[in-house]
Amino acid sequence: MSVLGWNRYGKSRVRLVKVKRAGKAHEIVDLTIDVQLEGAFDAVYVDGDNGPCLATDTMKNTVYALARRDPIDHVEAFALRLAEYFITKPSVSRVKISVVEHPWSRVLADGATHQHAFVQTGAGDWTASVTHDARAAEIVSGVTNLVVLKTADSAFSGFPRDQYTTLVDTDERILATSMTVSWKYRPGTTDFSVRDAVRGTLIDTFASHMSLSVQHTLYAMGEAALAACVDITEITLTLPNRHHLLVDLQPFGLDNPNEVFVATDQPYGLIEATIRRGTA
Which helix H or strand E contains 76, and what residues bound it? helix 75-86
Phi/psi of residue 155, each to 5°?
-135, 165
Distance in angstroms (rounded) separating the CA atoms of residues 167 and 148: 23
11 is catalytic: yes
Q: Catalytic residue among 11, 74, 132, 209, which?
A: 11
Residue 233 falls in the annotated catalytic set: no
* 8 A C-beta contact, residue 34 and residue 2: no
Q: Report phi then psi at 249, rounded to 5.
A: -100, 5
144 classed as catalytic = no
Helix spans in 176-213 (H): 195-208
- Distance (Å, whole) CA 78 – CA 14: 14
DSSP tag of 87: T
Q: Find the farthest-apart pair of alpha carbons in the chain and give their distance in angstroms, rounded.
A: 76
Point out the catalytic residue in the list 60, 96, 132, 243: 243
Q: Which of 56, 151, 233, 238 is catalytic?
A: 56
Q: Residues with catalytic annotation?
A: 11, 56, 243
